[in-house]
Chains A and B, each alone.
Chain A
Amino acid sequence: MSNFMKLIWNEQIKLYAKKATWVMFAVILVIAIGGGLITKFFGTESDFKEYGDNWQTELQAENEQLMAEMADDEFAGFTNEFIIAENNYHLENNIKPQPYDGWEYVLDNSFLTSVISLFTIIVAAGIISNEFKWGTIKLLLIRPISRTKILFSKYVSVLIFALTLLVFLLLSSWLVGALLFGLNGLNPMVVQDMMPGYAHNDVLGEIAKSYGFSIVTLVMMATFAFMISAIFRSSGMAIGLAIFLMMAGNTIVAFLSQYEWSKFILFANTNLEQYTNGMEPTIPGMSMTFSIIVLLVYFAIFIGAAWAAFTKRDVAGN
């Protein structure tokens, strides 16, 4: 193994020797199972309905029944309207509806990437500051290895951890989904509510897109926490600041959106999905290329600041 790989290996050992890390995996598993059970037993009935050969007639009958319900009960209108609209999309485009399956469950669980972001922030915030807290930084930095190498082995370790959590989320969601709902083939097509309108896409592509876009926020916030941890050598501050900004990011952007410069705020750019599916960007005049450049600049600043703080400063009093 090369020198750098051994350093990463060391970091992974330290990470998994702690109970807190295993709790993170357990939390994801519990949410995946719990969410599956809730969907199974409290989900919308029409989602699980299996249609026969003359599904068009079935859908039409369903629509009529829903209309009747709406006439009787004005509160039924909210959900029923959506179901009717979706049914109509199926009828107009001649797509036979398929029951909810494991793939769709994986797709729905993409919101859990924010939980992964949270856990990754916690790990990124601790990976440097804990060495200071334990005093082990002194033993780490007196080896014939440059501080730069040690810093990047820690950063790469954080990314590997995030990736591991992501794969774990995908696998556990898929397994729970497949067991509870079954699978409609290897890569079934799904009808998605695009608000407005509907689209018919293959599920693997949608899963890749949905999880892929969420990785942007994850990496940016983890890098931010990593930087704070390197500068202030305190995990509490890094966790607090990163989580606060992640939660408040969109509000901050909305609050400042009247100013021209608000498009340079990190959080105005982390959601690259805003440029897909013909959606309007948060602030007019922004584009995918613009956002990617802004993100890269932030990334370079975070890494640069972490590097400067870690390699240049004295290690005294720890």
Chain B
Amino acid sequence: MSKPAMQLVNLKKTIGNKPIIKGLDFEIRAGEVFGFLGPNGAGKTTTIRMMVGLIDITEGDVLIEGKSIKTDFKGAIQHVGAIVENPEMYPFLSGWKNLKQYARMVEGVTDERIKEVVSLVGLEKAIHEKAGRYSLGMRQRLGIAQALLHGPSILILDEPTNGLDPSGIREIRKYIRNLAEKENVAVIVSSHLLTEIELMCDRIGVIKNGELIAIEEVQTVEHEEALKEVYIEVEPMETAKVYLDSHLENGVGVGSKELSMSVKREEIPQILKNLMEQGISIYGVRVLQATLEDKFFDLIGENSIE
């Protein structure tokens, strides 16, 4: 496992007497896409603002490549590219001139680099138009370009697919995966849309009311060992139930038309074969995929803000 690109150490934010963020502890590794998931008002943006030093940290710290954002702001922030909330640009400047503004604020960003980034986000055609005329999707791309200019090792994107059309979303997703896998960038993506995050992230941190309530690895390859809920529609049901009860450890449940059971994936063919040999007719088999969405809603419960 690679060293953490960013570490949150007991990160807290209190505004007035109200604790907004109640002690976040997690790390993001180089080369992974980390999804920061939570309902609106859970504290995603506040956390991101603390990560980039826009707001003060009440307690704890954020370490970026080992450097504290509190005590070594410049040392820490130089590794970060970010979009915080909406990708806002100077509306009266062209996309190109907007990027030049940010290029002048760091060392060593050449015009060639800007062109490279612009073509990466696919904005070549509109780059000399005023940013005020851009659609939200184009501004999103310009925002990502701005964040990538100086070749950061950590990229923070707040709701990056907001306002993009489906093909744009797919492109950005592909691009984010690419950055993580090929250039070893740690990408933090915040979203309240689970399906989005599920498709592009390696790990997901779920935040609710300022607390991290779960960190999950996204399983891209199905584990052979995991038990699955399998439903089989059989005739006659009684014979099948008696047979299966005597052969399966966990027993079977009886539905209106189906029998349900928890078995490993590799066991399914044998079970079906045995049932047929017993003269039982099988009309259908379905395997229930426990999706992240189910887990998410179990964890979050209602979308309530305390």
Question: Taking the complex as formed, is B296 at the interface, i.e. its CB lies under 8 A from any CB of chain A?
Answer: no
Question: Taking the complex as formed, is B89 at the interface, i.e. its CB lies under 8 A from any CB of chain A?
Answer: yes
Given known A-B contacts A134-B91, A138-B85, A139-B146, A146 and B73 have beta carbons under 8 A apart: yes
Mask of A96-140 contacts with B, CB within 8 angstroms, 1/0? 000000000000000000000000000000000000001110111
Complex formed: what's the CA distance from A142 to B157 in Å?
A: 13
Q: How large is the interface on B (under 10, 10 to 19, 20 to 34, 35 or more residues)?
A: 20 to 34
Question: Taking the complex as formed, is A144 at the interface, i.e. its CB lies under 8 A from any CB of chain B?
Answer: yes
Q: Are B74 and A146 in contact (CB under 8 A)?
A: yes
Q: Are B85 and A142 in contact (CB under 8 A)?
A: no
Chain A minimum-CB-distance residue to B76 = A144
Chain A residues, CB < 8 A from B52: 142
Chain B residues, CB < 8 A from A145: 74, 105
Complex formed: what's the CA distance from A97 to B125 in Å?
A: 67
Complex formed: what's the CA distance from A61 to B77 in Å?
A: 81
Closest CB in chain A relative to B117 CB, distance in Å = 15
Question: Taking the complex as formed, is B86 at the interface, i.e. its CB lies under 8 A from any CB of chain A?
Answer: yes
Complex formed: what's the CA distance from A78 to B186 in Å?
A: 82
Question: Taking the complex as formed, is A314 at the interface, i.e. its CB lies under 8 A from any CB of chain B?
Answer: yes
Question: Taking the complex as formed, is B170 at the interface, i.e. its CB lies under 8 A from any CB of chain A?
Answer: no
Question: Taking the complex as formed, is B244 at the interface, i.e. its CB lies under 8 A from any CB of chain A?
Answer: no
**Majority secondary structure of chain A interface residues (helix, strand, loop or mixed):** loop
Q: Are A18 and B92 in contact (CB under 8 A)?
A: yes
**Majority secondary structure of chain B interface residues (helix, strand, loop or mixed):** loop
Closest CB in chain B relative to A135 CB, distance in Å = 3
Mask of A8-27 contacts with B, CB within 8 angstroms, 1/0? 01100110011000000000
Task: Tell me the number of A-to-B contacts counted with CB atoms below 8 Å.
Answer: 74
Q: Are A144 and B90 in contact (CB under 8 A)?
A: no
Q: Are A316 and B49 in contact (CB under 8 A)?
A: yes
Chain A residues, CB < 8 A from B46: 316
Q: Are B53 and A6 in contact (CB under 8 A)?
A: no
Given known A-B contacts A138-B85, A142-B52, A142-B53, A6 and B91 have beta carbons under 8 A apart: no
Q: Are B105 and A6 in contact (CB under 8 A)?
A: yes
Chain A minimum-CB-distance residue to B52 = A142
Complex formed: what's the CA distance from A295 to B270 in Å?
A: 93
Question: Taking the complex as formed, is B82 at the interface, i.e. its CB lies under 8 A from any CB of chain A?
Answer: yes
Given known A-B contacts A17-B93, A146-B73, A315-B54, A10 and B105 have beta carbons under 8 A apart: yes
Closest CB in chain A relative to B28 CB, distance in Å = 17
Contact of A142 among B56, B84, B92 (CB under 8 A): B84
Given known A-B contacts A141-B53, A142-B84, A136 and B89 have beta carbons under 8 A apart: yes
- A–B pairs, 8, beta carbons within 8 Å: A7-B105, A134-B91, A135-B86, A140-B105, A142-B53, A142-B82, A143-B102, A316-B55
Could you tell me which A residues sit within 8 Å of B by CB distance? Answer: 6-7, 9-10, 13-14, 17-18, 134-136, 138-146, 314-316
Could you tell me which B residues sit within 8 Å of A by CB distance? Answer: 46, 49, 52-56, 73-75, 77-78, 80, 82, 84-86, 88-93, 97, 101-102, 104-106, 146
* Given A13-B93, A143-B106: 5 more A-B contacts, CB < 8 Å: A10-B105, A134-B91, A143-B102, A144-B105, A145-B105
